[in-house]
Amino acid sequence: MLRIGMLTSGGDCQALNAAMRGVVKGICSKRKDVEIYGFKDGYKGLIYANFEMLTSKDFSGILTRGGTILGTSRQPFKLMRVPDENGLDKVAAMKHTYHKLSLDCLVILGGNGTHKTANMLREEGLNIITLPKTIDNDLWGTDMTFGFQSAVDIATDTIDRIHTTATSHSRVFIIEVMGHKVGHVTLHAGIAGGADIILLPEIPYDINVIADVIHKRTEAGKPFTILAVAEGAISKEDAKLKKKEYKEKLEKRKYPSIAYELAEQIQKKTDKEVRITVPGHTQRGGSPCPYDRVFSTRVGAAAAQLILDEDYGYMIAMRNGETVKVPLQDVAGKLKYVDPKCSLIKEAKLTGISFGDEL
Amino acid sequence: MLRIGMLTSGGDCQALNAAMRGVVKGICSKRKDVEIYGFKDGYKGLIYANFEMLTSKDFSGILTRGGTILGTSRQPFKLMRVPDENGLDKVAAMKHTYHKLSLDCLVILGGNGTHKTANMLREEGLNIITLPKTIDNDLWGTDMTFGFQSAVDIATDTIDRIHTTATSHSRVFIIEVMGHKVGHVTLHAGIAGGADIILLPEIPYDINVIADVIHKRTEAGKPFTILAVAEGAISKEDAKLKKKEYKEKLEKRKYPSIAYELAEQIQKKTDKEVRITVPGHTQRGGSPCPYDRVFSTRVGAAAAQLILDEDYGYMIAMRNGETVKVPLQDVAGKLKYVDPKCSLIKEAKLTGISFGDEL
Amino acid sequence: MLRIGMLTSGGDCQALNAAMRGVVKGICSKRKDVEIYGFKDGYKGLIYANFEMLTSKDFSGILTRGGTILGTSRQPFKLMRVPDENGLDKVAAMKHTYHKLSLDCLVILGGNGTHKTANMLREEGLNIITLPKTIDNDLWGTDMTFGFQSAVDIATDTIDRIHTTATSHSRVFIIEVMGHKVGHVTLHAGIAGGADIILLPEIPYDINVIADVIHKRTEAGKPFTILAVAEGAISKEDAKLKKKEYKEKLEKRKYPSIAYELAEQIQKKTDKEVRITVPGHTQRGGSPCPYDRVFSTRVGAAAAQLILDEDYGYMIAMRNGETVKVPLQDVAGKLKYVDPKCSLIKEAKLTGISFGDEL
Amino acid sequence: MLRIGMLTSGGDCQALNAAMRGVVKGICSKRKDVEIYGFKDGYKGLIYANFEMLTSKDFSGILTRGGTILGTSRQPFKLMRVPDENGLDKVAAMKHTYHKLSLDCLVILGGNGTHKTANMLREEGLNIITLPKTIDNDLWGTDMTFGFQSAVDIATDTIDRIHTTATSHSRVFIIEVMGHKVGHVTLHAGIAGGADIILLPEIPYDINVIADVIHKRTEAGKPFTILAVAEGAISKEDAKLKKKEYKEKLEKRKYPSIAYELAEQIQKKTDKEVRITVPGHTQRGGSPCPYDRVFSTRVGAAAAQLILDEDYGYMIAMRNGETVKVPLQDVAGKLKYVDPKCSLIKEAKLTGISFGDEL
């Protein structure tokens, strides 16, 4: 008997179900003696042994369904190795569940935080296989994560719609794209949507540069400007602050988010009407795009193969179009940022996109 | 020679181009001696004689294009009959342009404010035909306006995406839908998207009722709630204020919009995480939906027929599936609100949707 | 205890699930003592007492899901009152199931054929409520059926995509739209997609007129032509044949469908390359459009109200924007065709669309 | 003065305009003294010196527009070096146009056939830069071509829609996907759409295997089957024929395409109803997907950089996420097929997809 535990952790995204379907279809095409334990709401389900027994039938027809049939939660991994306020040692609890159910392997789908915990469980001797899930595409060790392209599609669709209305008025439109620490989604959606200005956490902006770009466009007979900004975009001044100082500054900010702050500053400096769009969690919602479905099916199947081979301790990554296994210890705790000097940024700048950093 | 002026005024929306294409194709299929004057940016273009000569070719291929090829602006009609700060009498200026160009007719596409001005121009002796444009569907005298169904589609798509992510978490999601005075878009998108709570300007809400609905859903094993709120939704207390008092209160509000205010109140009363999505101007953007394309082509063609018949002074309306002409004086200055007692509201309530007004 | 049977019959379409959800949510918001019997695969399930007990939970989350959770089939109603080859009297069998389960009412969702059978069951003394389902919008007594607008959206999307490729080449593109007997879908999608020629079963075409339109477009500098044709479009010569003769002719036709026949004829007469697109059953697939969701929720809720009122023997129709009840005997056996003289056709012709009947 | 010629050749696809926009924006951001000659309808425009002078403004706003603003045609490159029936030496004619206009460089966007001609022109001493355009993704030397992901998206959408209707009936659905020689689009769309059987030109099928798969699905309680077939899929018997014999066989075939032939065979062998969908040229139509927009902007910008550097004779390729230049002589005349032993096929088979080649 092969006993597989499975959980999804962190912010949800498209293709979580597709990836799990790939794992289960892959295993069940080779083995009939399989038990699948679906833990509910992320690591919580493992800690409190809250699970459902699932069969391959439960994974049928979910290729196109958004969200996760297992539920998810953001479990603060920091607390894991110290007992919490109720005296619960969470790592011990998870190990206990794993062993009590005699699991052969635990399949974990998640992003950065999730991988730290997954690696910790691996260090504790559990058999772990992980899949790279996040709309942010900020996981180290893989060219791509599932959810990313779907999020880009949605953010681009938002910019597209704004474009038609923008051309009918003489305004600045700000679209706030998800991404607190990294700007991959904003960068790709911004280029795909034909944004004039793209602001990323990795490239601090100068509000005067932004105002200048808008002025120059107006002078050149282009009365509107489309600005795509990542949630975590930061000005050059704020980038000089210490992390703690900046955090305090943010907490005192009167605006709910960066888009509203930029709007006020741009309105002051350019005398243009500014309009804001915050697609928010739509970027995590809906059916995965075909790219993500193929991608997640592939990494799911590759995970299944590893499990059939009893070869544990890896994240399945995509590199140069091929699925590969990457040791968990190499992945955990590392973020993949947008490199301000990468060829994509250079190409974007060459086509006239401003990143707010220079004229 | 037939000389037609044309302008689009007010907030832009989908199908403006489609409607103009219908007018021009309709006229040019019967008459070859036609001159078309496209005034730029709404009434401004008429006031300052800022126009372009267009041919039927300019209207080819624009059936699916969002925005308006003429540009638009929100011209404050109030000032129209008194000279402005530069001594300009705008109504006189518009009449002057009309007569100088020897126009036979002026086709005006717009919403409520636009129709007041259009009627004023009719009273001044100009030949006017108007088309009912607005995403709000709040024009009196017609069952439908173009832009409405497209806006409903986009707002519904937003709620759909939120739905998949909502089911994976235990949260309240607020989607803020366009509509300051009327709630038609929110009502239709809310029902189409399966919202649990719908808040409209026409049905003042009680925050305690909202909290109760969320509690009851949680108790019934539905940990998430989708709330669709119109920009102009109002609480029962605020609905008792005088208009001026309420306006002052709004100006002092620390939130950029109703969604953020509701979020804070719900978070306090239910202890649930709340997430906000503001699709904003996306609701006016992109290609018109097929419904709006057929609708706008029809009213455009019907306008063409009136012009060919030299029968002026009407808005083309849609009533019971047929295009009809409605005297401009009957339309101007009237809004079509959501009737809280209409069968649509009753049917929505019967299926379990709360409007925040009663348990 | 309220015992409701439910079945979906005929070709499937979008919003079947949405409509059933409306019925169930509507009833269950007022009554807790409800049993729902879902018969499988249309009338077959009723004949053979093949059903599932369902609860309101089974209808949760299916608002946006295409297809029907009950399955469907095309049951030949003709045979119903005579025993079949196995000696089975189907009408008697259906009555038997109904009474054995002590049903209070049977809710039937279907199109034209379905309604004949439904009316027969009513005549046999069963309590029947029906809902108007069909992409064809050919049910008599209602302005609209659910599925129609969704099908129009998909067919229009097909034409839209063809449009961009058409403008890059000098070709004739034929899009074959669903509709064997009536042309509503083709008519609306054709107008919405900007088709140059629309061929409907109700307006017999002349191939020479079609060739002329293509020639004239070429001469006017428009090298491509988009032709939307309903499956059941018929030439003027064939329209003169007796029904039986035409049926025989069709059976001998070497082409799989009208599009391929037209392609050959047009290629011969115009020397243009012709390309064919057959969206086929995609027109019945996918999530219902927001219009259909609101519509089906409304008629579902209105059906629920009738059941709560124990007022049986009706189809719920939509007339002038209001849900109304129409006696089943008035609906059964009547088709709603496109009237060649209706204002929609006139408006379409005025904008330059050819229906292949006249120059 | 920098004089750039530009043409698009072969079947059109999405992102042609986006790619040209990338080239022009890239050049014009660095040089102001640029003349752009847009040749009409592919190589024809170059042969007959049929061109338009374009400015950067003409490339503004076309990022999202399908088709090609230059038009295209399939020019038979075979005839190029021998005078045609009118005594025209096409290669000489193209050289003459190039030199007469004193072009510095010719930018050519096209697929396989286009690249053979492009390389021939390079051998004749012309400065050539090419961009990899084709929905088929069959160009050698690049991981990706633009148009491919957009075509996959559309074909997947088709399968998705069929899926919902398939689950409501007990049928086999065949979707015919573009690809006469290579199966990349069918493979990706098949996996993304959850097809049960995928038939590719590169993996000859056995009709008995297909029938077996359908039978086994029926036995396992899955009454429907989705089959995605590439236009050029071939049976094991036909794959043994000589090329010429097979071509003759195809010409005698009574069916318009493979889907109709398969349908008859499957209907005979399984007694199941079969339905066919032929999305056809929709797969080339509509706005490019965000992936293709970023991709085409990147290769466009990279082409611009080469032109600015006066470094000619290359196709811009994408390899491992980076734009690279590949010598034209290495690309011309080579096709990139689906490798039946690649990891993608293995992963697909592991998840239970049949390729009709083995049980």
Q: How far apart are CA C357 and CA D245, in angstroms?
A: 44
C-alpha closest to that of B118 among B136, B135, B100, B141: B141
Q: Quick one: pLDDT band at residue C253, thresholds 50, 70, 90?
A: confident
Whole-number pLDDT of residue D73: 86
Q: How far apart are CA B129 and CA B299, in angstroms?
A: 11
Angstrom distances, CA of residue B149 to CA of A15, B24, B294, C318:
30, 23, 11, 18
Among candidates C66, C275, C281 on the partner chain, residue whose Cβ is nearest the Cβ of D280: C275
Check CB contact under 8 Å for B154 and A167. Answer: no
Q: Is A111 annotated as a binding residue?
A: yes
CA gyration radius for chain B?
Answer: 22
Query: β-strands B322-327, B314-319: how paired?
Result: antiparallel
Q: What residues of chain C, 321 to 350, have a C-beta less than 8 Å from chain D?
A: none
Chain C residues in contact with D163 by the CB 8 A cut-off are 285
Among candidates D21, D289, D304 on the partner chain, residue whose Cβ is nearest the Cβ of A153: D289
Q: Is C81 annotated as a binding residue?
A: no
Check CB contact under 8 Å for D351 and A289. Answer: no
Q: How far apart are CA B280 and CA A162, in angstroms?
A: 9
Query: β-strands A51-54, A34-39: how paired?
Result: antiparallel
- At C158 the three-state DSSP class reads helix
Q: CB neighbours (10 Å) of residue B37?
A: 21
Q: What residues of chain D, 35 to 74, have a C-beta less than 8 Å from chain A?
A: 61, 63-64
Whole-number pLDDT of residue A142: 97
Q: Residue type at C76?
A: P
Q: In the Cβ-directed half-sphere of D208, how many Cα atoms lie within 13 Å? A: 3
Check CB contact under 8 Å for D71 and C168. Answer: yes
- How much is the average pLDDT of B6-16? 94
pLDDT digits 0-9 by tens, D146-190: 999 999 999 999 999 999 888 777 899 999 999 999 999 999 999
Element (H, E) at B191: helix B184-192
Q: Which residue has the tokens 């029936």?
A: D85
CA-nearest residue of chain C to B56? C351
Q: Does pLDDT of C79 surpass 90?
A: no
Q: What residues of chain C, 211 to 240, have a C-beta less than 8 Å from chain B?
A: none
Whole-number pLDDT of residue B359: 83
pLDDT digits 0-9 by tens, B136-180: 999 999 999 999 999 999 999 999 999 988 877 789 999 999 999
pLDDT digits 0-9 by tens, B85-118: 777 889 999 999 999 999 999 999 999 999 999 9
- In this prediction the ipTM stands at 0.95
C-alpha closest to that of B354 among B210, B253, B250, B158: B210
Binding residues of D for substrate: 134-136, 171, 178-180, 231, 275, 281-284
D149 and chain A: CB distance < 8 Å anywhere? yes
Q: Which one is catalytic: D12, D41, D136, D153? A: D136
**DSSP-H helix ranges across chain C:** 16-28, 43-47, 90-100, 112-123, 148-166, 184-192, 207-219, 236-240, 243-252, 258-270, 290-308, 328-331, 343-350
CA-nearest residue of chain D to C66? D164
Whole-number pLDDT of residue C298: 98
Q: Is the Cβ–Cβ distance between B51 and B5 less than 8 Å?
A: yes
Q: Is the Cβ–Cβ distance between D13 and D150 less than 8 Å?
A: yes
Q: How far apart are CA A19 and CA A134, in angstroms?
A: 12
- How much is the average pLDDT of B301-322? 97
Q: How far apart are CA D259 and CA D228, in angstroms?
A: 9
Nearest CA-CA distance, residue D17 and chain A, Å: 13
Q: What are phi and psi of B127, to 5 degrees?
A: -85, 115
Check CB contact under 8 Å for A293 and D156. Answer: yes
CA gyration radius for chain D?
Answer: 22
Nearest CA-CA distance, residue C265 and chain D, Å: 15
**CB crowding B307-339: b at 16 or more within 10 Å, else e:** beeeebbbbbbbeebebbbbebeebbeeebbbe
Q: Is the Cβ–Cβ distance between B185 and B155 less than 8 Å?
A: yes
C12 part of the active site: no
| Average pLDDT along chain B | 94
Chain B residues in contact with A275 by the CB 8 A cut-off are 280-281
Q: How far apart are CA C255 and CA C266, in angstroms?
A: 14
- How much is the average pLDDT of C72-99? 79
Q: Is C74 annotated as a binding residue?
A: yes
**Two tokens at B53?**
């000569």
Check CB contact under 8 Å for C350 and B25. Answer: yes
Query: β-strands C273-277, A171-177: how paired?
Result: unpaired
DSSP line for D266-316: HHHHH--EEEEEB-GGGGG-SSPPHHHHHHHHHHHHHHHHHHHTT--SEEE
Nearest CA-CA distance, residue C352 and chain B, Å: 6
Q: Which one is catalytic: C41, C136, C153, C292? A: C136
Task: Tell me the β-bridge partners of C276.
Answer: C174
Query: β-strands D128-134, D314-319: how paired?
Result: parallel
Among candidates D29, D64, D348 on the partner chain, residue whose Cβ is nearest the Cβ of A351: D29
D192 and chain A: CB distance < 8 Å anywhere? yes
> What's this model's pTM, rounded to 2 decimal places?
0.96
D300 and chain A: CB distance < 8 Å anywhere? yes
Check CB contact under 8 Å for B286 and A164. Answer: yes
Q: How far apart are CA D82 and CA D84, in angstroms?
A: 6
Chain D residues in contact with C282 by the CB 8 A cut-off are 158, 161-162, 277, 279
Q: Is the Cβ–Cβ distance between A186 and A230 less than 8 Å?
A: yes
Chain C residues in contact with B156 by the CB 8 A cut-off are 290, 293
Check CB contact under 8 Å for B192 and C293. Answer: yes
Check CB contact under 8 Å for C286 and D71. Answer: no
- How much is the average pLDDT of C123-145? 97
Q: CB neighbours (10 Å) of residue D282?
A: 27
Whole-number pLDDT of residue D169: 76
Q: Is C171 annotated as a binding residue?
A: yes
Whole-number pLDDT of residue C315: 98
Query: β-strands A314-319, A322-327: how paired?
Result: antiparallel
Among candidates B66, B169, B276 on the partner chain, residue whose Cβ is nearest the Cβ of A164: B66
Q: Does pLDDT of C82 surpass 90?
A: no
DSSP E strand stretches across chain B: 2-8, 34-39, 51-54, 105-110, 128-134, 146-147, 171-177, 197-199, 225-230, 273-277, 314-319, 322-327
Per residue of chain A (359 residues), what is the pLDDT tens digit? 999 999 999 988 999 999 999 999 999 999 999 999 999 999 999 999 999 999 999 999 999 999 999 999 876 555 556 677 777 889 999 999 999 999 999 999 999 999 999 999 999 999 999 999 999 999 999 999 999 999 999 999 999 999 988 877 789 999 999 999 999 999 999 999 999 999 999 999 999 999 999 999 999 999 899 999 999 999 999 999 999 999 999 988 888 999 999 999 999 999 999 999 999 999 999 999 999 999 999 999 999 999 999 999 999 999 999 999 999 999 998 999 999 999 999 999 999 999 999 98
Among candidates D21, D291, D344 on the partner chain, residue whose Cβ is nearest the Cβ of A298: D344
Chain C residues in contact with B32 by the CB 8 A cut-off are none
Q: How far apart are CA B285 and CA B147, in angstroms?
A: 9
Nearest CA-CA distance, residue C113 and chain B, Å: 26
Q: Is the Cβ–Cβ distance between A135 and A185 less than 8 Å?
A: yes
In sequence order, what are the residues at sequence separation of 6 or more whose Cβ sits closer than 8 angstroms to the Cβ of residue D162?
C281, C282, C285, D173, D175, D226, D277
Element (H, E) at A324: strand A322-327
Q: In what order do the strands lie in the sheet with B225-230?
A: B197-199, B225-230, B171-177, B273-277
CA-nearest residue of chain D to A290? D192
